[in-house]
Chains A and B, each alone.
Chain A
Amino acid sequence: MKIKNLFCSLAFAAGTVLLPTSLMAGDSVTITNEVKIDNFSFGPQTVTVTVGTKVTWINKDDIPHTVTSDSKLFASRALDTDDKFSFTFKSPGTNNYYCSMHPKMTGKIIVK
């Protein structure tokens, strides 16, 4: 996470960004709120965030993809190369998602 973003987020509301101090010891957490779509996969495949975090996906492939949650909580339009999609997670839980064009592509956002 860039320093500028961190300051910006802190100014608005503590807890809306990933702060390692807010997590319990022993949690395995990927410190990011960006998912890169590359080579027909979501990376990192599993991202853990706190409630209120906005997660952004960016497509780095030459082929369009979608970000579609299994539960229909969120669904992007087709993302062409370098297109982005964001969703803010307002409640805790595990959100499985996939690409509706290439359903072998799956990922997970865990909200704590």
Chain B
Amino acid sequence: MKNKKFTELRHLPADNEHLEHNTGTDGVDRRGFLKCMAWAGTGMLWTVSGGVLASKILNPTSASAADAPMMGGFNFVQISDSHIGFNKAANPDVVATLKEAIARINALPAAPDFILHTGDLSHLSEAEEFDTLEQLLKTTKAGKIFYVPGEHDVLNDNGKQFRDRFGKDTKGDGWFSFDHNGVHFIGLVNVMNLKAGGLGSLGQEQLEWLEDDVAHLADSTPIVVFAHVPLWTIYPDWGWGTDDAAQALSYLKRFGSVTVLNGHIHQVQQKIEGNVHFHTAMSTAFPQPQPGAAPSPGPMKVPAEKLRSLLGLTTVNFVPGDKNLAVVDSTLAGA
């Protein structure tokens, strides 16, 4: 069964670990909500509308008008960790799997308004790796692609090449924000100037910019934050967190809906804390082990027939009036 595969790749923490504040009034209890989210990975699209949890099966082959986003609503796609240039046993052909991810994007019933790439476009920051990535993503049916760098994209030149190619209109090390249909999007950089012994880092200059960036927004503005390294501490022993994320999140506390999209850990993890929904995406290149499940977070070798069930992309649907954005993960496995 397809469902089984999906539940295997998820690591859903015990609800008492992370769901400290269930402030929602949607009548869905913690356990119920987590169960729903676990099922989201099976290809069901969950949306919360008027307090009622609704679902439909995601099926790229049966496009219909009913699947199109509502007026004013829209959808976008997150892809992450393409690692173009990687050629080791965990996936000798990362170009092929990125192409498959692009085919999935192009088969969506409603073309995404844009794509967010949450970093590690390349494996070694080589010009030809960036070239390949750029050319491949040009074949997507999306209006625009926004990028934030991963630590693999800023090697040897402090990210200059990355910013010249993918971050022309950005500030500082490559951070920026934009508005789309009433939603405020913020791209952050947390892979630069890392301190020995530490985790990901945003830095004072970026934090000040962020505070200023959101200062003029109404509390009701839906916020989407995206960055490479998780902005919540998943597993510090492996560096899976950001040292000064709490400061950044303190500026977002007053907003009713905050969605945080990250990459870096090559697997789906999620957490709801107050009004903030944290989510990490799969890689298009190779999987990494669950926290602590291996001696190191290095690429995880799995049987060839299992690889595509651990790679994938994330689709996000925004419906005006709904508090939460619907975040749906789908793998490269299956029809």
Chain A interface residues toward B at CB < 8 A:
39-41, 61-64, 66, 70, 77-78, 80-81, 96-98, 100-104, 106
Contact A77 B198 (CB under 8 A): no
Sample of 9 further A-B pairs with CB below 8 A, known A103-B199, A104-B197, A104-B236: A39-B296, A63-B299, A77-B155, A77-B156, A78-B125, A80-B124, A96-B196, A103-B196, A106-B197
CB nearest to A100 among chain B residues: B194
CB B128 to nearest CB in A, in angstroms, measures 14
Q: A39, B124: Cβ atoms under 8 Å?
A: no
CB distance from B276 to the nearest CB of A (A): 25
Main secondary structure of the interface of A (DSSP, over half): loop
Q: CA of A40 to CA of B197 in the docked complex: distance in angstroms?
A: 13
* Contact in complex: B90, A62 (CB < 8 Å): yes
Taking the closest CB of chain A, its distance from the CB of B331, in whole angstroms, is 22
> Do A98 and B196 form a contact, CB below 8 Å, given A39-B295, A103-B239, A104-B238?
yes
> From residue 197 to 226 of chain B, which have CB atoms closer than 8 A to chain A?
197-199
Q: Does B237 contact A (CB under 8 A)?
A: yes
Number of A-B contacts (CB under 8 A): 58
In the assembled complex, the Cα of A64 lies from the Cα of B194 at a distance in Å of 16
In the bound assembly, the distance between CA atoms of A41 and B272 in angstroms comes to 32
Q: How far is the CB of A6 from chain B (nearest CB, A)?
A: 33
Q: Is the CB of B298 within 8 A of A63?
A: yes
How many positions in chain B have a CB within 8 Å of any CB in the partner chain? 25
Query: With a CB–CB cut-off of 8 A, which chain B residues contact A41?
Result: 296
Candidates A40, A64, A81, A98; contact of B238 at CB < 8 Å: A40
Judge if B11 is at the interface, Cβ distance under 8 Å.
no
Minimum CB–CB distance for A64 against chain B, Å: 6
Interface string of B290-302 (1 = CB under 8 A from A): 0000011111000
- Whether A62 touches B88, Cβ cut-off 8 Å, given contacts A40-B296, A103-B199, is yes
| Contact status of A101 and B151, CB under 8 A, knowing A64-B123, A78-B124, A78-B156 | yes
Closest CB in chain B relative to A105 CB, distance in Å: 8
